[in-house]
Structure 1
Amino acid sequence: MKAVTYQGIKKVEVKEVPAPSIIHKDDIIVKVTACSICGSDLHCYHGMIPSMDEGYIVGHEGIGVVEEVGKDVTKVKKGDTIIIPYNIACGKCYYCKNNLESQCINASQYEIGATYGCSRLLGDYDGTSAQYVRVPYANFTPFVVPENSELTDDELLLLTDALPTAFWAVEDAGVKGGDTVIIIGSGPIGLLTQKAAWMKGAERVIAIDYVDSRLEHARKTNKVEAYNLNQSSELAAIVKEMTRGGADVVIDCVGMSGKMTPMEFVGSLLRLQGGAMGSLELATQVVRKGGIIQVVGVYGTRYNAFPLGDLFSRNITLRMGMVPAIHMIPTLYDLVQTKQIKPADVISHHTSLEDAKEAYQMFDTQKDKCLKIIMKP
């Protein structure tokens, strides 16, 4: 089969690889009908994820049709169309039973959650950017798309990761009626988080990014106040004054993929630093005393000069983590099905799996106002 494979820093290639097969009795094999590139995939693309070997199949967002089922599978059958959540989880451990399936203890050998296409560190599972993928724990993880579904492939794909991430961000942060919410980053996750913040009753939603086209999209589609980080070296102070002391909630949707300082770049190359920290530093500067910073942008392991004292002295609550998407998908599916939220405006491009190399380059450089790319095998 054909699959998108990691071939070194900023290099992916579509290669012929062995097709997956049933390994465990509760596995299924899925014929992928559509997959997408996530901002988190760029961490792999940039070589920021440890244990990422050349030839590794990448991607963690996909939908498809069940081709083969293990003998113990009862939830799905051959021919079902399914959403493949980015989480890989057993459904039986303490964390899975308490809506924290992103920290399943059985899906990975490490003290960390598991997902597709993200190296040995996150469970060592082949990615979804391929013609076929093995989906483990099939009695828990997949969401079976109803036969009468009116959702497009684009909408279904956003339910694998992006939309659950956005809604979990505002829920975990406790966004409530009347809040001022600042969202750092206006990529697909940031744009969807803006929508979710309005739905949770926010009175004011402010977007910060350094890409004008994304800020323009945010203003147009989500009716937010939007500011370019490059427009002023005093932007943090301006925003804090404008919000009369800072936002109630600040959500970091960027993570380690922000702009690195020279020291961060060198430290990251030497594995002494887990990437950029600029967006988190900005969050500490624009949140009010006693406010909440929510982090859903992916960060690496260790960070130098972490502003712990700034957080402590101002009674800031810092919340973060890998999003438990599986239990959220049914509710979010209903919201999209009933058109209470229309998420597909974050998708800007469609292409073939064969063109993955060019798609990654476009996504990485934001060429042609690229926001999110859907690929068809």
Structure 2
Amino acid sequence: MRAVTYQGKENMEVKDVQAPSIEYDTDMIVRITASGICGSDLHIYKGGIPAPDDYIIGHEPMGIVEETGPGVKTLKKGDRVVIPFNIGCGDCQFCNHQMESQCDNSNPHAEMGGLFGFTEAFGGFPGGQADYLRVPYADFTSFKVPENSELDDESVLFLSDVIPTAFWSVQNSGVTYGDTVIVLGCGPIGLMTQKFAWMKGAERVIAVDHHEYRLEHARRTNHVETYNFDKNPDIGKLLHENTKGGARVVIDCVGMDGTVPPNETFGSEGDNQFGTISPIITASQAVRKFGVVQLTGVYGTEANNFPIGDFFTRNIALTMGQAPVIHMMPSLYKMVENNQINPKDIITHSMSLEDAAKAYRMFDQKEEESIKFVLKP
């Protein structure tokens, strides 16, 4: 089969690889019909999260069930399924309490849950930017699209990650009626988070980015206030002032691939930090006393100069982590079906799987005003 493989820093190659097969009774094989490129895939692409050569990447797939193991009870060949980026067994204490991103049984390599296409640290599972994907614990680690559904792939694909991650970010941060919410980043997760912040009753939603085309997209589709931090170097302090003491909730949808400010230094011998924590610094300055900072953008390493003192002395609550998305997929599907949310407005590029190397370069360099790429085998 053909698959997108990592070949070193900033080098993706689509090549022939061995097709997956059933390994355990509860596995299924899915023929992929669409797969998204996620911003966190760029952490691998840029070398921030180590991966071996030939590793198959991607954690936003969907497709058609091709084969099931004898232990699969609820799915059959021909079913249309969306595959979440979490891998959950469905039986452990975390899966049973809607915390499936930290499944006890899905990652044999570490004390964290398994993820598709996200390197050995998260279980070493091959990703979904490929012709076929093996899905462990198939009954639990999937969402079956209703047979009578009239929704196309692009409408339901983002149930794999973008939609539930954004929804959970707003839910986990405790956004409620009347809040001022600042969303750092206008990529796919940030844009979707802005939508859900309004739906949760926020009175004011502010978006921050430095790509003017993404800010314009946010204004046009989500009707938010926008700030370009390239034009406002002291953006955190400016937001604190313009919100009259800070926002009650700041949601960081950027993570460690944010823009590195001139005064941030790291990379000395023994320094394990990759990327930047500038979004966290901005959040610490923009949040009000007794406010909440939600870290949704990926931080995969230790960090220098983390503003723990500022958070502590001002009673800031920090929430963060990998969103447990599996249990949210059915209800969020209903929201899409009922036109309560339009996930397709973040798509800027739909390309062949064979053009994945070009797509990664374009996404990384923000070429052609790119926001979201969908790859189709």
* TM-score, with structure 2 as normaliser: 0.97
**Secondary structure of the equivalent of 2:205?**
strand
Alignment of 1:1-377 (within 5 A): 1-50=1-50, 52-109=51-108, 110-261=110-261, 266-267=266-267, 272-377=272-377
**Secondary structure of the equivalent of 1:230?**
coil
Change (3 A) 1:265 1:24: farther
Matched positions, count:
376
**Secondary structure of the equivalent of 2:230?**
helix
Change (3 A) 1:124 1:265: farther
AA in 1 matched with 2:237 = A
Unpaired stretches in structure 2, ≥5 consecutive residues: none
Q: List per-residue Cα deviations over 1:197-221 (Å, max 9, x = no partner).
A: 0000000000001111100100011
| Kept after mapping to 1: 8 A contact 2:28/2:65 | yes
> CA–CA distance in 1 between the matches of 2:269 and 2:11?
17
* TM-score, with structure 1 as normaliser: 0.97
**Secondary structure of the equivalent of 2:29?**
strand
Moved over 6 A (4+): 262-265
> CA–CA distance in 1 between the matches of 2:219 and 2:62?
30
Change (3 A) 1:83 1:271: farther
Q: List per-residue Cα deviations over 1:67-87 (Å, max 9, x = no partner).
A: 010011101101100000110
> CA–CA distance in 2 between the matches of 1:123 and 1:268?
29
Change (3 A) 1:262 1:27: farther
Shift of 1:60: 0.5
Change (3 A) 1:173 1:364: same
- The alignment-based identity, stated in percent, is 54
| Kept after mapping to 1: 8 A contact 2:105/2:113 | no
Change (3 A) 1:119 1:275: same
Shift of 1:156: 1.3
| Kept after mapping to 2: 8 A contact 1:293/1:317 | yes
> CA–CA distance in 1 between the matches of 2:271 and 2:49?
10
**Secondary structure of the equivalent of 1:125?**
coil
> CA–CA distance in 1 between the matches of 2:320 and 2:113?
14
Shift of 1:150: 2.1
Change (3 A) 1:271 1:138: farther
AA in 1 matched with 2:58 = G
Shift of 1:290: 0.4
> CA–CA distance in 1 between the matches of 2:297 and 2:269?
20
**Secondary structure of the equivalent of 1:256?**
helix
Shift of 1:371: 0.3
Q: List per-residue Cα deviations over 1:65-114 (Å, max 9, x = no partner).
A: 00010011101101100000110010100100010000001000211121
